[in-house]
Chain A
């Protein structure tokens, strides 16, 4: 895996992405959403060192949504007055197409911002930063353990599925047969995971997980005072801008 060119601490990048999402939702204009997509997300994704992966995930997630939006609102939009094409029960309206455009750019910007931040991020660095910033240890554990466990569980589920098939499990088109397959895979999977969890619980307990003293992180803190200050300033700026946008501008 190519190491990405790191610019900021993962927490700063996540904050930046989240604040841009808020701005996109506040301004709620397809031109702004498109501008964010082209001027912020695109350059960030290209320079992240994982542009290919981001592009694939973005395409798989956002592509179908855009298509559905176009079909759903392009054809069925009872509020639309300007009918461009009448197809009986369905009608293509200008308002429907505009709504699909504004929703589509917003969704694309929303997904693009978060995916770029997350897929180019080093999760263990984020967890170390959270530990250094004294976030709740249980939260940091749950985040780290879930991220580590998810691929393992999927892998184990696939293996159990193969084993059950070898023992004669046949999945037909009947929904009941599929449901039975789900239970037959779920039973050994969950029993194994629960026993593992019991062991892990005792191990953590023995290492003082329930204590109240600050935890020590084995990783150095990559967060800086400047970045911490910048995060708070950015947050304050977005809050002030949003208040002005909704209240000050109208009044």
Chain B
């Protein structure tokens, strides 16, 4: 079986070198500078908003908090995308618009089903699980940028979406999707970080106005005398953890139900053995998947 895989890999290398154009050669060092700069800007923006502003009421006259939120989070996200995109394979790039479209349509579907959560990160988490943290982060940022064309309120949440993509990819790489019961735990942890990052955006850009449910939570904390940023953070931690827990579970269930040939077509899935085990004939929410310790690598060629 192993030799079969090696033969396939040899053929692929040979095809790449003789028949297709050479891969794009953006200097990895300049890309790394962009990535580090983007991550630093996002972190600095968050620290500035949380450490410097809490004494001041959100968006008071002359306060640059709104501007810094938008430029820091959106600009940092743009730098991340600029650093990530040149290094992605065509396969990952083609997966990204699919993730973005899924984010938008699942968000709408959740609304039409009357679910009390957003579920608008399904595409980002799916891309991160199949193509890795970098592709996940870029999908998160671009998803919010594109959704922002129709709903401008999504724009400044780009940095939070990038973080969710990165964390989902790392969770996949660490094998959190190898067991169906580990995925919700990864989702919960991602939700905590996502909620913390989203809170200053909600507070400083939009005065914490959101949906009926989130507003009720913010109002309750405000009635207890919390400052706006604290109330928004508590609300973010409540809503985002539940949301991401469900999103990660839904993605794990969907990925395990995909045809094996489809999911093993992704190099990231094969290289890091993101998914293990043969899906049971009829996986349902309550039934844990049967783990099987045979790596799937090389089986694709058998058919």
What is A's interface to B at a CB cutoff of 8 Å? 21-22, 25-26, 28-29, 57, 61, 65-66, 68-69, 71-73, 75-79, 89-90, 99-100, 102-103, 106-107, 110-111, 114-115, 118, 136, 138-139, 141-143, 145-150, 152-154, 157, 161, 171, 175-176, 178-183, 185-187, 189-191, 193-198, 200-201, 204-206, 208-213, 242, 246
Contact = CB atoms under 8 A, between A and B. Distances in A.
Given A72-B209, A150-B105, A190 B97 contact: no
Main secondary structure of the interface of A (DSSP, over half): helix
Contact of B21 (A25, A77, A146, A212): A212
Contacts, number: 226
Interface string B262-280: 1101000000000000000
Contacts of B130: 194
B142 interface: yes
B175 interface: no
Q: Kindly state the interface size class of chain B when it binds its partner.
A: 35 or more
A65 B153 contact: yes
B70 A182 contact: no
B142 A142 contact: yes
A63 to B, nearest CB: 11
A68 B215 CA distance: 7
B57 A79 contact: yes
Nearest to A14: B149
A176 B53 CA distance: 40
Contacts of B67: 22, 25-26, 28, 242
B23 A153 contact: no
Given A57-B150, A179-B250, A193 B98 contact: yes
A99 B113 CA distance: 35
Contacts of B85: 136, 138-139, 142
Nearest to A115: B152
Interface of B: 20-25, 57-59, 61-64, 66-67, 70-71, 81-82, 85-86, 88-91, 93-98, 100-102, 104-106, 108-110, 113-116, 119, 122, 126, 130, 142-143, 146, 148-153, 155, 206-210, 212, 215, 218-219, 222-223, 225-227, 246, 250, 253-254, 257-259, 262-263, 265, 285
A118 B150 contact: yes
A90 B115 CA distance: 29
B94 A200 contact: yes
B287 to A, nearest CB: 12
A190 B125 CA distance: 13
Given A138-B93, A182-B110, A72 B208 contact: yes
B93 A141 contact: yes
Nearest to A173: B114
10 contacts: A25-B67, A26-B64, A61-B153, A107-B153, A136-B82, A150-B105, A154-B105, A191-B258, A191-B262, A193-B98
B261 to A, nearest CB: 9
A191 B253 CA distance: 12
Contact of A208 (B20, B86, B113): B20
